[in-house]
Amino acid sequence: MISTSQAGQRPDINLSRFDPLPRIMFYDDFSQGMSGWTELLGNYTGSLRTMHPGYKQFTPPMLSNLTQWDGGTHGALTGSYALKLASRPGRGSQTVSLKRMTFPRACTMQLECFFTYKPEATQLELSDSDVRSWGVVFDVQDSKHRVLPQVRYLNALDGKLQNKWQYKEQSVDFDNVGDRTVTIYHYGEENWKDIPGGHQLICYNEIPTKVNWHYFRLGFDIRTLRYTELQCNDLVLDLSGLGTLKFDAMPNLQNLFNVIPFVDSDSDRRAFLYFDSILLSGDW
Amino acid sequence: MLAESYTAVIARGEDWVDGSTTEPYEASWAREAIIMVRTLEAGTLGAGAKAHVQISLDGMRWVDEGTSLAIPTEVDGVSMARLGHFGHYLRLRAELPDSMTGFMLATLSLKA
C-alpha cells in the first residue's frame, strides 16, 4: 500500500512513516524544539490553591534524549530528542500535556505519532506493570457541543497487566472555581470502557531502560462528532460506533481543537511517556 | 534558526518544607538556565530559608551543583540564579530550618 505521503514521488524522509490526510496541520519532530507543547493547566481563581488536585499534580513536559543510568543516551527514533511527559511518583499519579488550536473547518482530523512509555528505572526489575496507562484526549467544540473524545492503552491496573485499549463516554460533574469559571477533571480512573477487539500486546522489551518506538493513529470527524479509527502498529479498530463525553457548547471555546496526551503510574515510581514525533492532519 | 528556549514551571503553588524537592527536569539540550523562586504565601518563612540547585545524570541520583538561592520571606519576593554547564537533569532542594513553610512558585528558563 502506498501512503499519501509517498504517492507519485520519492518518499519524504520525514513523512513517509506517516499516513496523513491531505492537509498537514503540524508535524513536530522534537529534535527541533518543544514546538508549542505545554503543560495542561487546571482552572483556578484567586489563588493556585483553588485548582482541582487532579490538575494540580501535573508537571511540565520536557525534551529528553532518553539517557539511561546503565546504557547511556538512547536517543529518539529520528534525531536525538523526544517530547517527554513524566508523572510524579506514586500509584495513580498522572501528568497531561497539550497543544492548543482551533479547527479551520469542520473535517476529519487525524493524529499520528511514534511513542513509547517506560517507568522510572529505580528498580533493577522488569517493571512492566509499573505504567498504568497512556492515552490521548481531543477537546473539540462546534457551534452546539463540546466533546472530549478520549482513549487510552491500559497497560496495568493494581499491579496486573491489562494490555487493552479503552475509551470513556461518561465522567464526573463540573466543579465551579468562581468568576464564571468551571473545571472538570475527566482524566480520572472512573468510567473507562473496553474497546471491542482492543486487546494488544505492545513491545515493552526486557528491562526498563531498553526502549522501542511504536506507531499510533487516531481519527475524529468534527462534522459528526464521532471517532473514525484507532491504529496502533498492526491493530486497527473501527471506533465509529463509540460515544464521547459531550456537553452543551461553552462560552469562549468556538472551533476549539486541542490534542492532549497523558500518562499515569501504577506503582510508586514515575511513569514516562515519550513522543519521537507527532503529526496532525485533516481533510479540510 | 533561533536558539530554542523554554520556561518550565517546576513548582506551581507548592507548600515547601525542609527537604522538599522539585520534580526532575531534563535540560541536556540547554546551555544556560535562569532559575527564579517567588513566594506566593510567606507562611512561616524567615532568615535562613534557601533553595539549593542540584544536578543529576539519570534523574534519580543527585549532587549539589553549588548554587543556592535565598527564599524570599515576603509575598511576591523573587530571587534568581544563573546556571551554565549543568549537564542533564536539574532540580531545587529546599532547606527550611525551624519547621518553616512557604507556598512557592519556581521557574526554570532554559536556552540552547
Nearest to B57 among A33, A48, A69 (CB): A69
Q: Is residue A5 part of a domain?
A: no
Cβ neighbours for A106, distance < 8 A, ≥ 6 positions apart: A142, A222, A223, A284
Q: Are strands A62-64 and A192-199 parallel, antiparallel or unpaired?
A: unpaired
Secondary structure, 3-state, B70-81:
ECCCCCCCEEEE
Q: Which residues of chain A are within 8 Å of residue B6 when distances are taken between CB atoms? A: 33-34, 63
- Rounded Cα distance between A162 and A274, Å, is 20
Asked if residue B5 is part of any domain, the answer here is: no
Please tell me the predicted confidence (pLDDT) of residue A7: 59
Q: Is A4 within the bounds of a domain?
A: no
Nearest-angstrom CA–CA distance, A140 and A103: 9
Contact across the interface for A33 and B25, Cβ inside 8 Å = no
Q: What is the pLDDT of residue A176?
A: 78
In a domain, A68, yes or no: yes
Please tell me the distance from the alpha carbon of residue B91 to that of residue B37, in angstroms, as a whole number. Answer: 12
Interface of A with B (CB under 8 A): 32-34, 39, 47-49, 51, 56, 59-60, 62-65, 67-69, 81, 84, 86, 88, 120-122
Contacts of A48 in chain B (CB under 8 A): 12-13, 40, 105
- ipTM, two decimals, is 0.97
Residues in B touching A67 (Cβ below 8 Å): 28, 57-58, 88
The Cα–Cα gap between B26 and B89 comes to 4
A78: in domain:
yes
CB contact under 8 A, A122 and B60: yes
Mean pLDDT, contiguous 10-residue spans, chain B (112 residues): 94 98 98 98 98 97 98 98 96 97 98 96
Q: How many domains does chain B have?
A: 1
pLDDT less than 50: residues of chain A: none
Q: Which of B7, B9, B10, B12 to mutate to test the interface with A (most CBs of A within 10 A)?
A: B12
Q: Does a structural domain hold residue B62?
A: yes
CA–CA separation, A228 and A112 (whole Å): 13
What residue numbers bound the domain in which B18 lies?
12-111
Judge whether B96 lies within some domain: yes
Do B23 and A84 count as a contact with CB atoms less than 8 A apart?
A: no
Looking at the structure of chain A, the number of domains it has is 1
What residue numbers bound the domain in which A177 lies? 24-282
Instruction: Say which amino acid occupies A264.
Output: D
Q: Is residue B4 part of a domain?
A: no
How does strand A150-157 pair with strand B5-16?
unpaired
Where residue B60 sits, what CATH number does that domain have? 2.60.120.680
Return the C-alpha cell found at A230: 484507532
> Is A179 part of a structural domain of the chain?
yes
CATH number at residue A182: 2.60.120
CB contact under 8 A, A62 and B58: no
The count of other CB atoms within 10 Å of the CB of residue B79 is 18
Q: B1 lies in a domain? A: no
- Residue B100 falls within a domain, yes or no? yes
Question: Is B25 within the bounds of a domain?
Answer: yes
Q: Are strands A131-141 and A256-265 parallel, antiparallel or unpaired?
A: antiparallel
pLDDT score, position B10: 98
Residue-by-residue DSSP string for B36-102:
EEEEEE-TT--TT-EEEEEEESSSSS-EEEEEEEEPPSSTT-EEEEEEE---SEEEEEEE--TT--E
